Amino acid sequence: MISKDQLRRDFPQLGSLVHGKELLYLDSAATALKYKASIEKESQFLLSESANIHRGSHYYGSEGTKRFEETRLKIAKYFGGNIQNWIFTKGTTHGINQLAKAMECKLKSGDQILVSRLEHHSNFVPWFELAKRKNAHCLPIELKDYQIDLDSLKKNLTTQTKIIAITHQSNVSGRLQDLKSIVALCKEKAPHAFIFIDGAQAVASQKFSVEDIGCDAYYFSTHKMFASYGLGCLYLSERSIDALSQFEFGGSMVQDVSFEKVTYLKSPHGFEAGTPPIAQVISFGAVLDYLDRQFEANEIWDHEVDICKQSYLKLKELDLFELAIFNEDVPTNILSFVPKWGHAEDYAHILDKQGVAVRSGHLCCQPFLKSLGASSVLRISFSVYNLSEDVDKLFNAFKKAKEMLV
């Protein structure tokens, strides 16, 4: 792994003071700290190289177009697929809503959409609403030991199943789902169904290929991957490209327009209406270069899993867990738990006063929390820039919180 000094240079927010204490950032599942060279690229583009793309033939317009499309190629090289398979959106949630719009004409009354009980509200509510609009059924895939239960999936898969939407990695437990088995089962039992994967949590620490997963769509936000806000990436398989109609209309995505007829560009541009977030796209390219250059395939994940487990074992000494959504034998980079004494929010508040940023609440995952009988949890999430020495700081912060609350 890279040195602490280098991490400080790469992620400058690490050195900041919160309530007079050095920040210990343990909320990367909500958003990652930003990679300096990427944000510099973004501001450099905005300040000195700005121009709209895909239209003018002047210098900055052409340069911007080139760099924008170069990022698309980097995404395809990093995550698999080709450039026509990668669409820019405004984020994970936006990508899912676009897909839900595009799927509207594929659904009829009585069809089924399967969604796991683990899903973030963003990968649940748009499907729930789509089902409502089409008089279809949105059904849960149940869990076993916090994982998607293949037996429950198998029972639910029928010829009526048209969409299966599941997460790659839970934003509550951090568990990776067994996508290979899930996709194989879906393809066997419901070959006509579309399989959509929410990659929001997974992309910052997993190295994989969307083609190996075999899904019809894969979506994520760049802000969870050390880059800027307001940008998402949506992978569409060839099958999806052929099946889905345009989900937004306007400039940039048309081939020819008249009052008689409008024709559209092929993917990806036919799916991208209006001016895209050009600066954010270009700056995301710098993140992919960095990850490619600095880290081996599983290095980030192994590092995070190691610190997460160390933290769990250390915090266990404080006898804090009423319910730990954690299993020592299953790798994860997130530790979520219901505290034995006091409320999750109280701990988060006391930790914040000590410079330690963690998350509390329902984590936009109410169906999952309700299945555990919980309304709120504390979540500690780790990233590439967390270090073993953070474990002691975290322990001391919790010790103090416990002394105040018990």
Ligand X SMILES: Cc1ncc(COP(=O)(O)O)c(C=O)c1O
Residues 6+ apart with CB under 8 A from 191: none
What tokens were used for 243? 């099946």
- To ligand X, the closest distance from the beta carbon of 341 in angstroms equals 28
DSSP string, 75-132: HHHHH-S-GGGEEEES-HHHHHHHHHHHHGGG--TT-EEEEETT--GGGTHHHHHHHH
- The label of the residue with tokens 């839970």 reads 170
- To ligand X, the closest distance from the beta carbon of 225 in angstroms equals 10
Residue 225 CA neighbour count, 13 Å, CB half: 33
Distance, in Å, from the CA atom of 176 to the CA atom of 173, rounded to the nearest integer, reads 9
Closer to ligand X by CB, 86 or 398: give it.
86
Residues interacting with ligand X, by CB under 6 A? 30, 91-93, 120, 122-123, 167, 171, 198, 200-201, 221
Coil vs helix vs strand at 263: strand
Residue type for 62, please? S
- The label of the residue with tokens 């969604």 reads 115
- The label of the residue with tokens 């398979």 reads 85
Distance, in Å, from the CA atom of 339 to the CA atom of 343, rounded to the nearest integer, reads 7
- To ligand X, the closest distance from the beta carbon of 5 in angstroms equals 30
What tokens were used for 357? 């940023």
Closer to ligand X by CB, 53 or 203: give it.
203
Residue type for 316, please? K
β-bridge mates for residue 147, sequence order: 144
Closer to ligand X by CB, 9 or 362: give it.
362
Contact between 355 and 21 (Cβ < 8 Å): yes
CB count within 10 Å of CB 42 equals 22
Closer to ligand X by CB, 10 or 198: give it.
198
Choosing from 138, 233, 308, 364, the catalytic residue is 364
Residue type for 144, please? K
Distance, in Å, from the CA atom of 250 to the CA atom of 166, rounded to the nearest integer, reads 31
What tokens were used for 395? 């322990």
Distance, in Å, from the CA atom of 380 to the CA atom of 167, rounded to the nearest integer, reads 19
Distance, in Å, from the CA atom of 35 to the CA atom of 10, rounded to the nearest integer, reads 6
Coil vs helix vs strand at 314: helix
Mark whether 138 is an active-site residue. Answer: no
Closer to ligand X by CB, 97 or 152: give it.
97
Closer to ligand X by CB, 100 or 320: give it.
100
Closer to ligand X by CB, 65 or 228: give it.
228
- The label of the residue with tokens 């400080």 reads 8
Burial class of residue 214 (count of CB atoms within 10 Å of its CB; 0-12, 13-18, 19+): middle
Closer to ligand X by CB, 30 or 254: give it.
30
- To ligand X, the closest distance from the beta carbon of 223 in angstroms equals 6
The residues annotated with a catalytic role in the active site are 364
